[in-house]
Structure 1
Amino acid sequence: MGVHYEKFLGHLAKGAAILDAGCGPGRDVKYFLSQGYAVSAFDGAKEMVRFAQEYTGIDIAHEEFLTYEAIDRVQGIWACATLLHLSYEEQKEVLKKYQRFLTEEGIFYMSFKYGQGSYKKDGRVFYRHQEESFATLVEEVGGYEILEQYISGDVRVNRAEEKWLNVLLRTVKGV
């Protein structure tokens, strides 16, 4: 995760406020806290929220992407391997809504399985992106500029063939 953290945090001031959207067990929350950032987080699975709270020592909200409402604006939003479970229309809705949560020139990191279309595995739907499809989505939403799109490999055991599209967006003035 080091390269992803570096690319994201390289755009933020030390101690900046970060929202981990779909934090899962809290791995990234814990890392950001250890680096001195102010972190808030939510997840849609009760068991993940419970685990993440125990693991990180902070309150984690039990919320879904489409219903979450931020209390304070943040400089960065981290959505690692989470938005890929939303349909393309829902992804657009989240990108539009979450602009309100970011400060001016706020940074939004997200990652998707690399490819086209969607597929189902273990009862979950995965919506893939390639550079072109994601650029189209951002253009349709408006209010962001793409800072970087890059492909990375999956480091988990028996997943070396899987690729990920990682994206860094920045809000543009007038949002």
Structure 2
Amino acid sequence: MDLPVRDDGRESFTDRLIMVGAAFEGSEDISAARRLARSFLTDLHQVHGVPVADRVTGGVQLVVSELVTNARKYAPGPCLLTLEVNEGVVEVTVWDSNPSLPVAQAPDPGRVGQHGLEIVMALCRSFEMHREPVGKRIMAALALADDPIGDEAGEQIR
């Protein structure tokens, strides 16, 4: 299949699936999940020519870290992480074996910890949770393009 070519001569990635996935079982794997996310976004930029801002990379790594940490903390067995590019967003999906859906707590500036879900939801364009026949699946989507007003410097992965 020939891919459509953009104005700059590079292939368009919009018509093909770009994704990566991994299974994690130990707490040491949380840093491996972050590294996988960074590597995926670096390849997205370097191999496919898709601009990925540093802010987006940091946001995706934070979302991955929070979701994988919660899966490892609250669910027995492995968790599965998938990163996929779809229509200008990075979709982060984490599956674990615990069917209980997490609940964001009410804002409390005096509370120490347990702000991860609030942070994830604030960073994401969309956030969904679904019970599965076994466990649950949490999906978070972050825009690849920076807010033109929010990132004046326009820093990108090189």
Greater strand share, 1 or 2?
1
Of structures 1 and 2, the larger Rg is shown by 2
Q: Normalising to structure 1: TM-score of the pair?
A: 0.31
Query: TM-score, with normalisation over the residues of structure 2?
Result: 0.33
